[in-house]
Amino acid sequence: MSLEHASPGPASVWSTPDLDEALVLAAPVIDVAEIRRYPEGLWMLDFEDGLVVQVQPDPSRGVLVLTAALGAARQGTEREAWRLLLELGAWWSVTGGLRMALDPGGDTVLQLDELPLQALDTARLQVGLLRFVERARAVREALAQLAPQEGSMPSRPDLAAGATASGFPALAPDLRA
C-alpha cells in the first residue's frame, strides 16, 4: 500500500482511509496502545508509557508532521534542559534533523519531525514512526536525568559523546523530507 496524493499536482488532499489503514498496520510494530483520529486530519497515537505522538499531514509541503510532547524540565534544570535541546539541533547527523521546541502556551518540550508523503508506504511509515518514538523516549529520559546541583552547573547526560553508542536512533536519510 502506498500513501499517495489524491491530485497529481501539488499536494492538496490525501486519502484519509489510506492513512488510517497504514497507521493501523503500523500500530503493532510500534506498540501503539490506541489510535485516535480527529475530523480535522489529525491522528493521536497513545503509548502505554504515556507518550503521545501527533500525526498530521501538511498538504502544502507534502509531508507528514510528527509531534510528541515530552514534558517539561524539572524546576532547577531549565537552563541545562534548554542547552541540551539546542545541542540536539546541532547533532543533525545523528538525529536526522530532528527539531525540538517549546509549546507556545507553556514549558512543555516538543519533538518534531517530518516524513515525506511522496513514496511513503506502510513499511517506511512504520520505520519512520518507530525511529521517532525511540528518539522521543531517549530525549524524554535525558530530560528526566537532569538533576539540579547547588553551587555548580547541573549535571546532564552527554548525548554528544554517547548518542550513537547508546542507541539514540537516527532517522535514515531516505526517510527525510
70/161: higher pLDDT? 70
Q: Which three cell numbers stand for residue 140?
A: 524524554
Rounded mean pLDDT of the chain? 77
Got the DSSP string for 115-172?
A: EESTTEEHHHHHHHHHHHHHHHHHHHHHHHH-B--TTSPPB---HHHHTTTTT-PPPP
2-175 CATH choice from 3.30.1460.10, 3.40.50.150, 3.40.50.11610, 3.30.360.10: 3.30.1460.10
Total length of the chain: 177
38 beta partners: 42
Tens-digit pLDDT profile for residues 76-85: 888 888 888 8
Tens-digit pLDDT profile for residues 133-148: 999 998 898 888 887 7
Tens-digit pLDDT profile for residues 94-151: 777 788 888 888 888 999 999 988 878 888 999 999 999 999 998 898 888 887 755 5
Q: How many angstroms separate the CA atoms of 95 and 131, rounded?
A: 10
Q: Which three cell numbers stand for residue 73?
A: 524540565
165/20: higher pLDDT? 20
Average pLDDT for residues 35-48, to the nearest whole number?
Answer: 92
- The percentage of residues in the chain with a pLDDT greater than 70, rounded to a whole number, is 75
Q: How many angstroms separate the CA atoms of 154 and 165, rounded?
A: 23
Beta-sheet pairing, 120-121 with 34-38: unpaired
